[in-house]
Chains A and B, each alone.
Chain A
Amino acid sequence: MKVVAVLSVKDEAELIERTIQHLQEIGVDLIIGCDMNSTDGTYEALQEHKSDKNFWVFRLDDQLADDFQTWSRANTALVRSAEADWAIFLDADEYWIPVSGSLKDCTTLTETDVLTVDRFNIPVSADGPLMPSKLAPKYYNDLLLATEVVDDLRLHMRNNPAAVWIRAKAEPKVMARPEQIEGLALGGHDIVAAHARLLRRRTPNDLIIAHLPFSTRSRFRRKVDNIRRLFRIHDEFFGELTAWHWRRWLALDEMGRLDEEFDRTLFNAGDIAEMRMRGAILSAEDLFRERMTTADAPTP
């Protein structure tokens, strides 16, 4: 089995090396690094790994009007020509966590076309993300994840201004068979099926994504600045409902409240204890244990 990972990045120098290393550790055979015009050394870091065999790199200008189409078509073409069996689509702050430590061991791979993989945010304290230095199975107990499910997070946050975005479970991402892919949805959250086929979709219990949206204040600010530039070009494209959380942060930034927002995302010891007690934060190990007791189900 050959697995290809499409790794799309923009100014993630803080995380990129760890992400690449993790992908290689979980059994990804080919990484396609798509840099969206980073200026912090991320692209150069990708270039260091470049290889015909297992690491392809290309760069797109995210300030051009048709950059999403180009991103989707180029990645689709590359994935489909890579002679791979499976493809995953991720950002640099996403760590795919297979229960066994290898993507290729996921039990649902043989009987599906698309896996919808649940994504959980990693809590961050004032001392940094609450995650171990290595993401191998034996460390899964140290990897904490926010698991609280909120049905309509946008509405929830509008009605509860004190709610904290990071504490809710994030949107899932997909793993798909390349030959079934005709295009990619925004952010790689889904695929467009080739020939409009009806695809077999499942949500695996033995595979999750640990998402690290927040790590340092400087990274958060840079992401907000980048998204502002992106919205200037693509405002109409994103619409009101897409990337609404980024719009919220842009608005907060305009009000001079971005630092305050970052501080709100930080968990103190009391928060952690309270959330763990009610099951809103679980370790990856506990989460897998809980998920494995129920059979994985087809994705609605």
Chain B
Amino acid sequence: MGRSLRAHLGYLDICTELQAVGWATTDGEPAEVEILLNGQRLARVQCNVERTDLRLHGLAANAGFSFTFPRPLAASDEVSVCFTDGTHLRNSPNNSTREGPDEQAGQRITIVAGMRGSGTSLCANLVALLGIPMREESDASRTDGLGNWERDEIVHYHDRVLRLFDPNWPEDCHALSLPPNWWTAPMVRAIRDEMIDWLAVKLKRTRNLGFKDPRTVRLLPLWDQICAELRLDVRWVFCVRDPAQVARPPRASDEMAIRNAEYRWMAYNSHAIRNLGDRAVCIIPYEEWFAEAGRNLTQLISHLDNALSANMPIFQELSRRVIAANLRHENRPSPNTDLLTGSLHRAILQSAPQCRFSPQARDTADSFIAFQELVGAILVPHARTASSLSHQASETARWRLPPDIVEKARGDNLFAQMDVKNILAERRLQAPEAFEAYRQLLRLQDSDHIRLRPLRSLNEIAAQRGLTYFETDPGGEPFTIESARVIGKSNHRTLKGISRPIYLACLADARVRGRSAAIELSEAILLDYQGDELKRLDDRLEFDPAIFRAQGDTVWAIAVDRRSCSIAINEAFSLLGPHTYYFGHWIWECLPKYVAALLSNKLPPIPVLIDADMPKTHRQALELVMPEGTPLIELAPFMTARVERLWCSPSQMHMPLLERMNERFKWDYLASPPARFAPIIRGMAQRMCSALPPKGGAERVFLARKPSAHRRMINDRVIEAVAQAHGFHVVYPEDLDFLEQVHLLRNARFVTGPEGSAFFLGFFSSPGTRMCILDHPHTAGLPLLTGPLAEIGVEPVVFTGPYASMHDEWPHMSDYEIDEKAFSRFLNGWLRDNTP
């Protein structure tokens, strides 16, 4: 190994109000150090604590120390750790806290950036040798420790930010394009605040901190804000390597892959140069380490303003070891580099002595970015497709999954995701193994692993452990819902049920997920069911994006592989769920939960948590019922949030996640007492209608449905034409804003159209409105809609026609045909007749 070390070397890593932690060697051996408090010696300590990270630097592995103070330190106490000859360890003297502005002002952060394979790990290693903590011990132990210098937390924070803009991140093609002013997005700001908190805690322990992550330069505006907030002095170290050697494909003959790698090099470096602009940057050419390492070392030490000299034997020795220790990437024969790429590389190298990118480098980078933005719209989808296809294809083939289902599942199609979960289950894979395939295949956000958890009733747990549990209706009352008048064949009957308890609850420290109805507490997963509601029918719990597999009274819940969720929220009312994208569910199931909570007068003024990508009309509907000034917090699909105080209410009816319509199913199970529901409906309508313009609009409205895959009225155009001829205004409600929809229904006297969720707009109709629902003969579930409508004074009638094709499982989803002559004759009478 060469000559021995002949100097003191040591570092005070951590200084809190309770203890001081660090390491020290003399002549390469664990040293003896003295701990001083306000200049008074407290103890002499022999370094003997095992530290694996020290070995990585060629230091004695057992050179660590840890000293606990006899009393908690005050902020004004000064701690010194010295060698026995009085030489201070680096980072000594120190304080237990660094929250004061004056103390913060002197703090520094060193950021090592550069494309992967450009020597960033080597550089981070050397920066660490200069006494700047670049990672935690836990980070080092995660891999072999030589090449991996990323901090877990920062990697995760960056991933979270990048996934906000591309759920498929990380991807291979480096095609992510961030939107303008991305760092101002509320979700980014929330993550930024978390990062500030995390970093502030770190900086309490050391004045000087560093990290390495190539993505930092893409996220530079974010880091600028963080550093400004914490008043950090930032030192940038930027590693660069010959583009022909970076990210070389395994098959050197693959011209396409070579050009693709060069493109990635250009993309990365151009954005880095543009973002770093003319700020001071220590530019470290990779090849220089192996030609004249001293030049790079001098540059680095000078830039970091370090007291060490590159000529110090100890440092030279350590550097030599690091550079030699397997960190040199193989240098392969260099193919011809593209002219533009070569030009930018040369410009970067020429910038190195000035520690700042030259105008020529910046011009070249700007030109490339302009080109990239110009062609991005065309190239990015191709690049993404190319990069994802190979991985997806191999995984899809491996598990014999239908590619179209996988494709849909990679979006936010819960049906397709459920199919993938079920197909993997059919392959007889154990849940963890199946989930690993699922995770690899779909790459959904915040879906890192699964945990087996008991499944519990929200009502039960809320009543037992809720911070608040306020029962507005104890339930338990029998009720019936009469069917509306039906013209034509039907299978309707009176529905019967027992009312469920309605309450408002607040749960402590809950986790929720975008598009999921599940609430995760530390000990269980909660769903909105009561008594035997879950057991009396067969529900597909795996339809919920938080549930991977259901197993009796337990579920394999999908969880995040980090210390925290995507966002942290103090307090919110949850309206998340797998049904929030569906208009009928939103008006019938979801919104009434919130309105019922408001009507209880027990809900404090808190934000409402909603699914980010639900149709805008759903959000508009919510905004109409919310008290003024109520904030909305959007949660992207599958993103998780930790809520300190989560408020929730049950729906008026038990709403399965995705019921099986088998012999066990009864429409009665989805019923709610109309008399109890009506005041909530009126409450919704009252809030919405106060925003309506004066009376006006069509008197006759036909609520048309756009062609869909199921429950289609196959002669819809003919029926629409007939209705038009009878004076009906044919409307596709989804083309209107929500207030326009309400306005339409509020003022219409006659409403008709094919059965669909649009008829829940009838909740906002004026009493006396006549409503004719066109449907197939499977009318058994219609009282769920017509019951509440009749209760608020709407006069529903159902007009049926024969099935055109039957749906295998869900008969109410069958296609049908309405006899247009009979319908036209019916309208003649219905419009003329004043009797119901």
Write the residues of chain A forming the contact surface with B, with a CB cutoff of 8 angstroms. 32, 34, 50, 52, 56-60, 64, 66, 69-70, 73-74, 76-78, 80-81, 83
Partner among B715, B717, B722, B832 whose Cβ is within 8 Å of the Cβ of A64? B717
A73/B718 in contact, CB under 8 A: yes
Write the chain B residue with the least CB distance to A66: B717
Partner among B715, B726, B831 whose Cβ is within 8 Å of the Cβ of A73? B715
Write the chain A residue with the least CB distance to B721: A74
Give Cα distance in the complex from A34 to B717, angstroms: 13
In this assembly, does B664 line the interface, its C-beta being within 8 Å of a C-beta of chain A?
no
Chosen A-B contacts, 29 in total, with CB atoms closer than 8 Å, are A50-B727, A56-B725, A56-B726, A56-B727, A58-B721, A58-B722, A59-B724, A60-B717, A60-B721, A64-B717, A66-B717, A70-B717, A70-B718, A70-B721, A73-B718, A74-B721, A74-B722, A76-B821, A77-B821, A77-B823, A77-B824, A78-B722, A78-B725, A78-B824, A80-B821, A80-B824, A81-B821, A81-B824, A83-B828
A74/B831 in contact, CB under 8 A: no
B717/A32 in contact, CB under 8 A: no
A81/B828 in contact, CB under 8 A: yes
Give Cα distance in the complex from A34 to B724, angstroms: 10
Give Cα distance in the complex from A59 to B730, angstroms: 10
For chain B residues 662-682, which have a beta carbon within 8 Å of chain A? none
Task: Give a binary string over B812-824; 1 marks a CB under 8 Å from any A CB, 0 the rest.
Answer: 0000000011011
B725/A58 in contact, CB under 8 A: yes
Given A73-B820, A77-B820, A81-B824; A57-B717 close (CB under 8 Å): no
**Smallest Cβ distance from B238 to chain A, in angstroms?**
59
In this assembly, does B428 line the interface, its C-beta being within 8 Å of a C-beta of chain A?
no
Give Cα distance in the complex from A34 to B828, angstroms: 18
Give Cα distance in the complex from A83 to B824, angstroms: 11
Additional A-B contact list (5), CB under 8 Å, known A69-B718, A78-B824: A34-B721, A57-B725, A74-B718, A77-B823, A81-B825
B820/A74 in contact, CB under 8 A: yes
Given A70-B717, A70-B718; A58-B820 close (CB under 8 Å): no
For chain B residues 214-272, which have a beta carbon within 8 Å of chain A? none
**Smallest Cβ distance from A89 to chain B, in angstroms?**
15
Q: Which residues of A contact B715 (CB under 8 A)?
A: 73
**Smallest Cβ distance from A37 to chain B, in angstroms?**
12
Write the chain A residue with the least CB distance to B726: A56
B725/A32 in contact, CB under 8 A: yes
**Smallest Cβ distance from B281 to chain A, in angstroms?**
60
Q: Which residues of A contact B828 (CB under 8 A)?
A: 81, 83
Write the chain A residue with the least CB distance to B825: A81
Give Cα distance in the complex from A56 to B718, angstroms: 15
Q: Which residues of B contact A76 (CB under 8 A)?
A: 820-821
Give Cα distance in the complex from A57 to B726, angstroms: 8
Q: Which of A59, A76, A77 has the most C-beta atoms of chain B within 10 angstroms of its own C-beta?
A: A77
A-B contact count (CB 8 A): 55
Query: Ordered nearest first, which 8 A-B pairs have the shortest CB separation?
Result: A81-B824, A58-B724, A74-B721, A77-B820, A56-B725, A58-B725, A81-B825, A77-B821
Main secondary structure of the interface of A (DSSP, over half): mixed
Q: Which of B721, B726, B727, B831 has the most C-beta atoms of chain A within 10 angstroms of its own C-beta?
A: B721
Give Cα distance in the complex from A64 to B724, angstroms: 17
Write the chain B residue with the least CB distance to A182: B821
Give Cα distance in the complex from A83 to B825, angstroms: 9
Main secondary structure of the interface of B (DSSP, over half): helix
Q: Which residues of B contact A32 (CB under 8 A)?
A: 725
Give Cα distance in the complex from A60 to B719, angstroms: 11
A74/B725 in contact, CB under 8 A: yes
B718/A77 in contact, CB under 8 A: yes
Partner among B718, B721, B727, B821 whose Cβ is within 8 Å of the Cβ of A52? B727
**Smallest Cβ distance from B731 to chain A, in angstroms?**
14
Q: Which residues of A contact B718 (CB under 8 A)?
A: 69-70, 73-74, 77
Q: Which residues of B contact A60 (CB under 8 A)?
A: 717, 721
Give Cα distance in the complex from A57 to B721, angstroms: 9
Give Cα distance in the complex from A60 to B725, angstroms: 11
Give Cα distance in the complex from A32 to B832, angstroms: 18
Write the chain B residue with the least CB distance to A73: B718
For chain B residues 702-725, which have a beta carbon within 8 Å of chain A? 715, 717-718, 721-722, 724-725
Given A52-B727, A52-B831; A77-B717 close (CB under 8 Å): no
Write the chain A residue with the least CB distance to B831: A52
Q: Which residues of A contact B827 (CB under 8 A)?
A: 81
**Smallest Cβ distance from B820 to chain A, in angstroms?**
4
Give Cα distance in the complex from A50 to B821, angstroms: 20
Give Cα distance in the complex from A33 to B526, angstroms: 59
Q: Which residues of B contact A69 (CB under 8 A)?
A: 718
Q: Which of A34, A56, A59, A81 has the most C-beta atoms of chain B within 10 angstroms of its own C-beta?
A: A81
Write the chain B residue with the least CB distance to A60: B721
For chain B residues 723-748, which have a beta carbon within 8 Å of chain A? 724-727
Give Cα distance in the complex from A76 to B821, angstroms: 8
Write the chain A residue with the least CB distance to B826: A81
Q: Which residues of A contact B825 (CB under 8 A)?
A: 80-81
**Smallest Cβ distance from B429 to chain A, in angstroms?**
46
Write the chain A residue with the least CB distance to B700: A52
**Smallest Cβ distance from B804 to chain A, in angstroms?**
15
Give Cα distance in the complex from A244 to B825, angstroms: 38
Q: Which residues of B contact A81 (CB under 8 A)?
A: 821, 824-825, 827-828
Q: Which residues of B contact A80 (CB under 8 A)?
A: 821, 824-825
Write the chain A residue with the least CB distance to B724: A58
**Smallest Cβ distance from B128 to chain A, in angstroms?**
70
Give Cα distance in the complex from A52 to B727, angstroms: 7
**Smallest Cβ distance from A81 to chain B, in angstroms?**
4
Give Cα distance in the complex from A256 to B50, angstroms: 95
Q: Which residues of B contact A57 (CB under 8 A)?
A: 724-725
Q: Which residues of A contact B726 (CB under 8 A)?
A: 52, 56
Give Cα distance in the complex from A58 to B727, angstroms: 8
Q: Which of B726, B821, B832 has the most C-beta atoms of chain A within 10 angstroms of its own C-beta?
A: B821
Write the chain B residue with the least CB distance to A70: B717
**Smallest Cβ distance from A278 to chain B, in angstroms?**
46
Q: Which residues of B contact A70 (CB under 8 A)?
A: 717-718, 721
Give Cα distance in the complex from A73 to B825, angstroms: 14
**Smallest Cβ distance from B670 to chain A, in angstroms?**
35
Give Cα distance in the complex from A120 to B831, angstroms: 41
Give Cα distance in the complex from A66 to B721, angstroms: 13
Give Cα distance in the complex from A76 to B718, angstroms: 10
Q: Which residues of A contact B724 (CB under 8 A)?
A: 57-59
Q: Which residues of B contact A73 (CB under 8 A)?
A: 715, 718, 820
**Smallest Cβ distance from B705 to chain A, in angstroms?**
16
Give Cα distance in the complex from A80 to B820, angstroms: 10
**Smallest Cβ distance from A58 to chain B, in angstroms?**
4
Write the chain B residue with the least CB distance to A59: B724
Give Cα distance in the complex from A227 to B727, angstroms: 29
Give Cα distance in the complex from A76 to B727, angstroms: 17
Q: Which of A58, A69, A76, A83 has the most C-beta atoms of chain B within 10 angstroms of its own C-beta?
A: A58
Q: Which residues of B contact A83 (CB under 8 A)?
A: 828
Give Cα distance in the complex from A146 to B721, angstroms: 36
Give Cα distance in the complex from A112 to B727, angstroms: 33
Give Cα distance in the complex from A91 to B823, angstroms: 26
**Smallest Cβ distance from A36 to chain B, in angstroms?**
11
**Smallest Cβ distance from B754 to chain A, in angstroms?**
16
Give Cα distance in the complex from A59 to B825, angstroms: 19
Write the chain B residue with the least CB distance to A35: B724
Q: Which residues of A contact B717 (CB under 8 A)?
A: 60, 64, 66, 70, 74
Q: Which of A59, A60, A70, A80 has the most C-beta atoms of chain B within 10 angstroms of its own C-beta?
A: A70
Give Cα distance in the complex from A76 to B724, angstroms: 14
For chain B residues 755-781, which have a beta carbon within 8 Å of chain A? none
Write the chain B residue with the least CB distance to A56: B725
**Smallest Cβ distance from B641 to chain A, in angstroms?**
46
